[in-house]
């Protein structure tokens, strides 16, 4: 076993931490006939990672390779501009005006040009500026699947992106200006926003949305229909467009309509077998800087970490990045593979439902506080994490990465110390004050994740001593259920950092209605702070705001943080090279175009 290590980068809240690079990747040639396989621990289920249902690492790993964008993070991590896809420029600071332009020759894999129609639709979806006011979609969500029901009204405009009018593209309330050549859009923000460079993410094909939503056959007519609907605020057309944008790209096997997997990036989906694998093939229409070297990459879904190790040993896959356990580390040590360890930019935590819990118990803050007191955080770290990382510690902040500037100061003030040790008697007293006995807590987590199953058992045993009845609500489809009203009471999962932007975490997660606000948390003071964070350009002031956010979350009994993920990536160095995991999502996939087969028949 060859061992390399990487450590999680110390998170920063400084706007200046975004390192811009205009360096283009070297041009490469595909190794004809080459194929490689990689294992991931959860099946793909949605091509739209910008919805509350589809926003999951398992989906975004795939779309990262298939949907082009204006920038991405490398493994330093630094923000890299991909000028071969397009450019953006700061036209004005006051007001904040940003112009996006698609580069010449950029096409979808059906040969249709990527242009302003795609960007304009992305703005409409990620700003929600055209949504029907005051519409609540929660009552139209299926508690068993997390998807919208057939009863969802057809006469409302609702883009399920979780956008908020106080942050990000929510601050672009005026329809962007489209250039005469239909290559650019210019957006004017209502107020300054510190992370403006990270807002217009990789767009979906607008012509595909319009063709399916409006029954149009011609690609150009479909693009024109997008312009007309948005620029004229056509509620009837936008209702159909938003409905398809929300749900039309959800599928668990290769769709009959292959327009749904059109690509603008280096790879395209060419096969998808439910619960088994997705096949990515080099996109023949792609002419950008990140030209791939491997002709075909198969992403196999292997939920059991030890099964992933076995697949690597058997040569079924050449690259794995399973959830690290002591058994995984021991099994890898016996193989002739290269292992990269360290910490990830992901942390384990438990969120408590506020307004839509299954039992209704957690509507009462006394019961939330009592449950937080019985979660054996230190025991979980000692038994499950320290065998992998001897220096592992309990994470005590909801917003700061351990080791980052502001972490120690925030931990000293945020109130997490009250949950440093299990307090059974304190929990019993709170339950008595609340007037409840043996409250049931339905806990959602991944049913295919051994480490989470072990965590659940430790929590269940500890909580029982105080009178809680913690029940197993695990599911293989846990990701799609996270934002589903009434599906559970508490959730156990990991948040993975996707950028160094100061607004990457708090606004979408803790703002009322944010895309990552999956437990229906709402606090007006929090909304004010998350809005203020996006408008604050002073790094020291940003830290102070984040410290306030951290304290409010603990004061509100939001839930608990547990540990920073230990990382393990292993690959067959005799079959694949240029593997360099990043601490940020999409971790191992960030440079998928650089992966190179050692031999053309490696598989």
- CA-nearest of 349, 312, 201, 275 to 570 is 312
Band (14; pLDDT cuts 50, 70, 90) = very low
Instruction: Check: CB of residue 349 under 8 Å from CB of residue 493.
Output: yes
Q: Where would I find the H helices in 291-397? A: 305-313, 326-333, 365-373, 377-380
CA pair distance 97, 110, nearest whole angstrom: 32
- The count of C-alpha atoms lying within 13 angstroms of the C-alpha of 95, restricted to the half-sphere facing its C-beta, is 12
- For 240, list phi and psi in degrees, rounded to 5: -70, -40
In order of 246, 308, 582, 590, the CA distances from 266 in angstroms are 25, 26, 19, 12
Q: Report pLDDT for 94.
A: 93
28 pLDDT more than 80: no
Give the distance, in angstroms, between the CA of residue 509 and the centroid of all CA atoms in the same chain.
11
Q: Report pLDDT for 220.
A: 97
Give the angle subtended at the CA of 299 by the CAs of 147 and 479, to the nearest 5°.
25
Instruction: Check: CB of residue 520 under 8 Å from CB of residue 362.
Output: no
Burial call 490-523: b when 16+ CB within 10 Å, e when fewer: bbbbbbbbbbbbbbbbbbbbbbebbbbbbbbbeb
Residues of the chain with CATH 3.90.76.10: 47-58+66-250
9 pLDDT more than 50: no
Task: Write down the architecture of domain 47-58+66-250 according to CATH.
Answer: Alpha-Beta Complex (3.90)
Q: Report pLDDT for 325.
A: 87
CA pair distance 584, 117, nearest whole angstrom: 30
Q: pLDDT exceeding 90 applies to what percent of the chain? A: 83
CA pair distance 322, 337, nearest whole angstrom: 14
Q: pLDDT exceeding 70 applies to what percent of the chain? A: 95
Work out the mean pLDDT of the chain and round it to a whole number. Answer: 92
Pick the CATH number of 344-565 from 3.10.105.10, 3.30.420.140, 3.40.50.2000, 3.30.70.3280: 3.10.105.10
- CA-nearest of 37, 577, 571 to 296 is 37
In this predicted model, what pLDDT tens digit does every residue of 216-257 receive, in sequence order?
999 999 999 999 999 999 999 999 999 999 999 999 999 999
Q: Report pLDDT for 176.
A: 98
In this predicted model, what pLDDT tens digit does every residue of 50-91 receive, in sequence order?
998 999 999 999 999 999 999 999 999 999 999 999 999 999
Per-residue pLDDT averaged across 107-128, rounded?
Answer: 98
Band (16; pLDDT cuts 50, 70, 90) = very low
Q: Report pLDDT for 408.
A: 96
Per-residue pLDDT averaged across 300-322, rounded?
Answer: 97
Band (22; pLDDT cuts 50, 70, 90) = very low
Contacts of 20 (CB under 8 A, 6+ apart): 78, 79, 80, 81, 197
Q: Report pLDDT for 6.
A: 41
- CA-nearest of 384, 380, 402, 527 to 459 is 380
Strands 469-472 and 338-352: unpaired
User: What length is written for the chain?
Assistant: 603
In this predicted model, what pLDDT tens digit does every residue of 169-215 receive, in sequence order?
999 999 999 999 999 999 999 999 999 999 998 999 999 999 999 99
- CA-nearest of 64, 84, 74 to 24 is 84
Residues of the chain with CATH 3.10.105.10: 344-565
Q: Give me the residues paired with residue 460 across strands.
A: none
Three-class secondary structure of residue 435 per DSSP:
coil
Instruction: Check: CB of residue 478 under 8 Å from CB of residue 507.
Output: no
Per-residue pLDDT averaged across 286-298, rounded?
Answer: 97
CA pair distance 503, 531, nearest whole angstrom: 9
* CATH number for region 261-342+570-597: 3.40.190.10
Lowest mean pLDDT among 77-91, 108-122, 341-355: 341-355
Q: What's the whole-model pTM score?
A: 0.88
Instruction: Check: CB of residue 227 under 8 Å from CB of residue 179.
Output: no
CA pair distance 271, 257, nearest whole angstrom: 12
DSSP string, 272-301: EETTTEEEEEE-TT--SS---SEEEEEEEE
Strands 294-301 and 31-40: parallel
């Amino acid at each position: 076993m060859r061992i390399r290590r990487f450590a999680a980068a110390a998170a920063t809240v400084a706007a200046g931490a975004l390192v811009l690079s205009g360096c283009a990747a070297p041009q490469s040639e595909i190794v004809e006939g080459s194929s490689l396989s990689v294992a991931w621990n959860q099946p793909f289920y949605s091509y739209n990672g910008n919805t509350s249902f589809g926003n999951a690492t398992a989906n975004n790993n795939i779309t990262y390779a298939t949907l082009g964008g204006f920038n991405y993070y490398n493994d330093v991590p630094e923000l890299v501009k991909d000028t071969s896809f397009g450019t953006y420029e700061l036209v004005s600071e006051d007001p904040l005006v940003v112009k996006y332009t698609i580069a010449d020759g950029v096409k979808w894999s059906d040969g249709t040009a990527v242009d302003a129609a795609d960007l304009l639709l992305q703005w409409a979806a990620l700003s929600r500026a055209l949504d029907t006011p005051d519409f609540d979609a929660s009552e139209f969500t299926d508690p068993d699947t997390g998807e919208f029901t057939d009863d969802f009204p057809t006469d409302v405009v609702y883009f399920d992106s979780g956008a908020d009018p106080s942050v990000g593209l929510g601050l672009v309330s005026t329809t962007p200006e489209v250039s005469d050549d239909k290559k650019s859009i210019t957006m004017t923000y209502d107020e300054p926003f510190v992370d403006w460079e990270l807002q217009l993410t990789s767009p979906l094909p607008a012509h595909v949305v319009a063709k399916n939503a409006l029954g149009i056959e011609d690609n150009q007519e479909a693009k024109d229909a997008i312009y007309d609907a948005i620029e004229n605020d056509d509620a009837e057309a936008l209702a159909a467009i938003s409905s398809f944008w929300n749900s039309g790209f959800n599928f668990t096997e290769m769709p009959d309509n292959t327009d749904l997997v059109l690509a603008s990036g280096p790879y395209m989906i060419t096969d998808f077998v439910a619960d088994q694998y997705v096949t990515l093939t080099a996109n023949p229409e792609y002419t950008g800087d990140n030209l791939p070297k491997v002709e075909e990459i198969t992403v196999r879904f292997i939920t059991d970490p030890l099964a992933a190790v076995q697949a690597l040993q058997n040569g079924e896959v050449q690259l794995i990045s399973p959830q690290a356990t002591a058994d995984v580390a021991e099994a890898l040590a016996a193989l002739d593979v290269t292992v990269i360890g360290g910490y990830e930019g992901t942390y384990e935590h438990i969120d408590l439902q506020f307004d839509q819990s299954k039992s209704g118990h957690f509507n009462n803050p006394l019961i939330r506080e009592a449950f937080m007191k019985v979660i054996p955080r230190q025991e979980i770290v000692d038994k499950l994490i320290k065998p992998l990382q001897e220096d592992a510690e309990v994470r005590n902040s909801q917003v700061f990465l351990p080791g980052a500037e502001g972490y120690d100061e925030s931990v000293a003030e945020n109130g997490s110390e009250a949950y440093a040790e299990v307090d059974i008697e304190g929990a019993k007293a709170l339950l008595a004050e609340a007037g409840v006995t043996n409250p049931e807590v339905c806990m959602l987590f991944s049913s295919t994740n051994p480490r989470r199953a072990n965590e659940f058992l430790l929590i269940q045993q500890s909580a029982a001593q105080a009178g809680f009845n913690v029940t197993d609500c695990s599911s293989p489809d846990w990701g799609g259920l996270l934002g589903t009203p009434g599906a559970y009471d508490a959730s156990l999962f990991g948040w993975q950092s996707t950028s160094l932007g100061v607004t990457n975490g708090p606004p979408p997660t803790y703002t009322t209605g944010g895309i990552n606000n999956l437990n229906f948390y709402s606090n007006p003071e929090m909304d004010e702070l998350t809005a203020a964070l996006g408008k604050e350009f002073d790094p020291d002031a940003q830290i102070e705001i984040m410290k306030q956010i951290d304290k409010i979350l603990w004061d509100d009994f939001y839930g608990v943080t547990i540990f920073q993920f230990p990382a393990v990536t292993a690959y067959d160095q005799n079959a694949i090279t240029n593997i360099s995991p990043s601490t940020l999502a999409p971790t191992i996939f960030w440079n998928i175009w650089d992966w190179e087969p050692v031999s053309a028949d490696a598989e």
